[in-house]
Structure 1
Amino acid sequence: MSQEDPKPHLSEAYARMIERARSTVESAGKRLEQAVDEARDMAHELGELTRDEADLLSEYVKRDLRDLGAYLDLSGSDLRGWFVIDKTLIEARLFELMASVADKTSLALAEFARNVRQPTVWRTGEITGPGVLACLECGKTLQLGKAGRIPPCPHCHATRFRRQHESPEA
C-alpha cells in the first residue's frame, strides 16, 4: 500500500492560500475569515483548484488558523509552541507565513478562534500545516515538517488527531 499523496498540489495550495489571506488582511484590512474566503475564490478562478478542492482547503486553513489563534490567545506564547517541533524541521516558507499571520493579525486570530466552541479534530486525508498531531486512540505523535496530507497513525493506524501544543510553562 502506497503512502503517496494522491493530490500533492493541495499542499502547495495550502501555503498559497495562507499567503493570499495574509496579504489581503494587510492591504485591505479585511477580517481573516473573509480574507481566506477571497483566497479560496482566487485559487478557483485562477484554475489552481477545483471549486470542491478550494472549499475543502479553505476549511483546513481556517481550522489551523483558529487553532493557532486559540493557542496564542490562551497561552501568550510564541508560534514555536504551536508547532512544538524544532523550527529547523519545519518548511521555512510556511513557518514564515504562519509567523507573519500571527504577528500582524494576532487580534484577528484570537477573535477568529473565539467563535469555536468544540475541540478541533484533524483527520487522515486532510491537509494541515507543519506541527505535531497526537493520535486520539493511542496518544502517539505524528510530526509534520511541512504542509501536507495527514496520514493514518503510524502506530495504530487510527485516523483522528489533535494538534499537540507546547505547554505555556515549558
Structure 2
Amino acid sequence: MSEKENHHGLGERLAEGYHRMLERVRQRLDDIEHDTGPTLKRAIDDAQERATELGELSREESAKVAEYLRRDLEDAATFVSESGRELGNWLKFDWNLIERSLADLFANAVDHTRVELEQFSERAAALGEWHTGEVTAMGTLQCKSCGEELHFHGPGHIPPCPKCHGTTFRRLTDAEQ
C-alpha cells in the first residue's frame, strides 16, 4: 500500500470516528440534559473513551478526533450565539444537501454546546484555523493562502488545498458568500 493510500485510509478512519463520536456525544447530552453536573466536555471525553475501548480508534486518534469535535461544536455555537443566525448559515449550504440524520445530530449537539458557550468563550475566540490532516464537520472551509473553497457534506479529512496546496483554512459562513 502506498503512503498516499495509507494516509487516505487514515483520513477516512478519522472521519468515521468523528461521526461515531458525535453520535455518542449527542446520546450522552440527551441522557444528561436535566443533570447540571456533566458537561459537553465530559460527553466528548466519554465518547472518546468509548471509541478507544471499542477499538474504533487508537487513544491518540480518538484524542485528535475529540479535539476536532470540540473545535467544530464550539465554533458553530459561537457563530449561532453571537450572530443570532441559523446553523445552516454557519455550514454555508442548504440542509437539504446533507443527510438529514447527520444534520439533526450535529444541530442537536450544537444546541447543547450553545448552552455551555459561556464556559468556552475565551477558547472559542482563539480558534479559527483548520489544518490539512485534521477532520472537520460539514461546512465550507476557505484556504487562507489563495481563497479556494472546500465543501464538506459530512465529517471529512481536510486535504491540502487543491489549487495552491496550502494547509491552513478558515470556516466560511453564509454571510461571507
- What TM-score do you get using the length of structure 2 for normalisation? 0.86
Q: Distance in 2 between matches of 1:17 and 1:144?
A: 18
The aligned counterpart of 1:111 is: 118
1:1-170 matches, cutoff 5 A: 5-7=8-10, 8-28=12-32, 29=35, 30-108=38-116, 110-116=117-123, 117-167=125-175
Q: Distance in 2 between matches of 1:80 and 1:21?
A: 20
Relative to structure 2, which stretch is displaced further, 111-120 or 14-23? 111-120
Q: Which amino acid aligns with 1:54?
A: S
Verify the 8 A CA contact 2:72 2:137 in the aligned structure 1.
yes
Query: What stretches of structure 1 of length at least 5 have no aligned partner?
Result: none
| 1:77-114, Cα deviation, whole Å (9 max, x unpaired) | 11101110222333433212111123345312x23541
Structure with a larger share of its residues in helix: 2
Verify the 8 A CA contact 1:66 1:112 in the aligned structure 2.
no
Alpha-carbon shift at residue 58 of structure 1 (Å): 0.4
Q: Distance in 2 between matches of 1:97 and 1:41?
A: 20
Relative to structure 2, which stretch is displaced further, 92-101 or 57-66? 92-101
Q: How much is the aligned-residue C-alpha RMSD, in angstroms?
A: 2.1
Change (3 A) 1:125 1:40: same
Query: What stretches of structure 2 of length at least 5 have no aligned partner?
Result: none
Verify the 8 A CA contact 1:69 1:113 in the aligned structure 2.
no
Q: Which amino acid aligns with 2:71?
A: R
SS in 1 for 2:151: strand
| 1:52-78, Cα deviation, whole Å (9 max, x unpaired) | 111111011011011111111111111
SS in 2 for 1:6: helix
SS in 2 for 1:153: coil
SS in 2 for 1:125: coil
Identity %: 38
Q: Distance in 1 between matches of 2:135 and 2:98?
A: 15
Q: Distance in 1 between matches of 2:92 and 2:13?
A: 25
Change (3 A) 1:12 1:93: farther
Q: Distance in 1 between matches of 2:156 and 2:66?
A: 14
